[in-house]
Amino acid sequence: MIRTAVTLAAALLVAFIVVPLAGLFFHLQPGDIIAALRTQAAQDALRLSIITTFCSLAITLLLGTPLAYVLARATFPGRYLVDAVVDLPIVVPPAVAGLALLLAFGRNGTFGPLFGALGISLSFSTIAVIMAQTFVASPFYVRAARAGFAGVDRTLEAASATLGMGPLRTFAYITVPLAAPALIGGAVLSWARALGEFGATIMFAGNLQGVSQTLPLAVYLNLESGNLPVAVVLSVILILFSLIVVVTVHATAQRGSR
Amino acid sequence: MLRFDLRYQLREFPFVGAGEAGAGVTIVEGPSGAGKTTLLRLIAGLIRPEEGSITLNGRTLTDAATGTFVPPDRRNIAILFQEYALFPHFDVAGNVGYGLRARNMPRAERDARVARELERFDIATLAHARVTELSGGQRQRVALARALIVEPAALLLDEPLAALDRGTRERVRAELAAALRQVSVPTLFVSHDPAIRELFPGPAFHIDSGQLTQLP
């Protein structure tokens, strides 16, 4: 009796996830795919999404790796606070994040005049898209990398040092390779989060074709303007990316646990 | 000659001790948690003492009074760790050659030196084996080859036999003793294995609750 109930509950939730996503594919007409991909808006969105997500990923890796290492290794006053702050964007609603970015870096925001004096207008630009993505997505990488670094046996780093390797080379030859499954998993997850970014982007960067209209924003705009087939095609592209991400994350997690 | 006079605060008591060790094996004994590993970590430069100094063959490695502290990667002091600390993502040859790579030795020369070292420790057939697939005795040979290939100025051993099961320990102990007799640099050997003390009846340090005394 209980077993049946458990099975039913489990099946219900799985079906609830699978059915709508799989359903999208049934809305797909072969002719639509070509037609949709031929539109300038779809091509712009696809190109913009790829460029911006790789830029935000690069920033995340560059700044997030040292941060994750410090959080995993160093002891300093306020470490737990920094730890919590880093996780904050994961739970803050994206629209709120977008508003916060706008009020900080927008033309009339706190730092707006500063950038304005340099001739830079951040809001409603491609840079704003990258900033919004980095803001919401980088914590996923930092979390994973922090756990990865914390899991590396420090005796191995000590062994490397006593054999003559300096701190940077020890990091490159020992720490990073041993934390690699966590680093790759976190990077992929954070990239996927950036690709799906909608709320913060539309608040801070707007929805301008070729400038700030990434794939999720293009899905929204095409649905709003009654262009359902294009919205479906772009959605299917996003789902395919998501599938690749999920498979990669599971594969690296398995390799890491071996 | 290795000379030290150190003070380092541990959780429950300070480690305090002065001593000197010449060429050959000096046993470091005492109950667990007394500070034996701390002494090795201080000498290797993995931790900094609050007070005191360390000199090796006249070279000052640590001197709290002047703020001198040579980092571990520039001390040329090799350690044989308790569970060997072999790098799991390198094969046997990669582990043994690691210290030469640190010294930027050209690839060809390094490969030749590694091959000779593997020969010497009778592990040439294991050159491309993963270290995770080795037996306890083989692991020890790899660790020893990795430590000695760099011709360290001092060698530190932290209970290298503790991780082995009783059957292999006897054979590995004899093997280790034979290898250590050929080492002519100051060698501190942390062990509370009475059989090791019998094999090396010479000088020893006794550490109890952080207090080091030099036995003749």
Contact list, B76 vs chain A (CB under 8 Å): 164
Q: Which residue of B has its CA nearest to A165?
A: B102
Mean pLDDT of A77-106: 92
Mutation choice for B interface testing from A156, A163, A171 by most B CBs within 10 A: A163
State yes or no: pLDDT of B167 exceeds 70. Answer: yes
Mean pLDDT of A18-34: 88
Structure tokens belonging to residue B196: 């090791």
Q: Describe the strand order of the beta sheet including B77-80 as a list of residue ranges.
A: B68-69, B59-63, B51-56, B2-9, B14-21, B211-215, B204-208, B24-29, B186-190, B154-158, B77-80
Contact list, B75 vs chain A (CB under 8 Å): 162
| CA max distance for chain A | 71
* A59-63, A133-137, B96-100, B191-195, range with the lowest pLDDT: B191-195
The mean of the pLDDT values for chain B is 92
Q: What is the pTM of this model?
A: 0.87
ipTM of predicted assembly, 2 dp: 0.93
Residue A110 is given by DSSP the state S
CB distance A144 to A69 below 8 Å: no
Instruction: Give the whole-angstrom CA distance, residue A162 versus residue A156.
Output: 10
Instruction: Give the whole-angstrom CA distance, residue A190 versus residue A101.
Output: 19
State yes or no: pLDDT of A33 exceeds 90. Answer: no
pLDDT at position A223: 92
Domain that holds residue B122: 2-215
Angstroms from A108 CA to nearest CA on chain B = 51
pLDDT at position B190: 94
Nearest of A130, A134, A143 to residue A60 by alpha carbon: A134
Q: Which helix (H) or strand (E) holds B28?
A: strand B24-29
Instruction: Give the start-to-end residue ranges of the domains of chain A.
Output: 31-257
| Amino acid in the structure at residue B61 | L
Q: Count of CB atoms within 10 A of residue A62's CB?
A: 9
Q: Chain B: which residues have CB within 8 Å of chain A?
A: 44-46, 71-79, 81, 83, 85, 87-89, 98-99, 101-103, 146-147, 150
Angstroms from B215 CA to nearest CA on chain A = 28
Q: Chain A: which residues have CB within 8 Å of chain B?
A: 153, 155-156, 158-167, 169-170, 174, 177-178
CB distance A122 to A106 below 8 Å: yes
CB distance A185 to A249 below 8 Å: yes
DSSP string covering B119-182 = HHTT-GGGTTSBGGG--HHHHHHHHHHHHHTT--SEEEEE-TTTTS-HHHHHHHHHHHHHHHTT
Q: Which residue of B has its CA nearest to A167?
A: B73
Nearest of A148, A212, A202, A207 to residue A178 by alpha carbon: A148
Strands B59-63 and B2-9: unpaired
State yes or no: pLDDT of A196 exceeds 90. Answer: yes
pLDDT at position A27: 86
> Percentage of residues in chain A with pLDDT exceeding 90?
73
CATH number at B8 reads 3.40.50.300
Structure tokens belonging to residue A163: 């054999």
Looking at the structure of chain B, the number of domains it has is 1
State yes or no: pLDDT of A256 exceeds 70. Answer: no
pLDDT digits (tens, 9 = 90+) for B92-143: 999 999 999 999 999 999 999 999 999 999 999 999 999 999 988 899 999 9
Q: Which helix (H) or strand (E) holds B203?
A: none
DSSP string covering A131-147 = HHHHHHHHHHHHHHHHH
Q: What is the CATH number of domain A31-257?
A: 1.10.3720.10
Instruction: Give the whole-angstrom CA distance, residue B115 versus residue B21.
Output: 32
Instruction: Give the whole-angstrom CA distance, residue A12 versus residue A18.
Output: 10
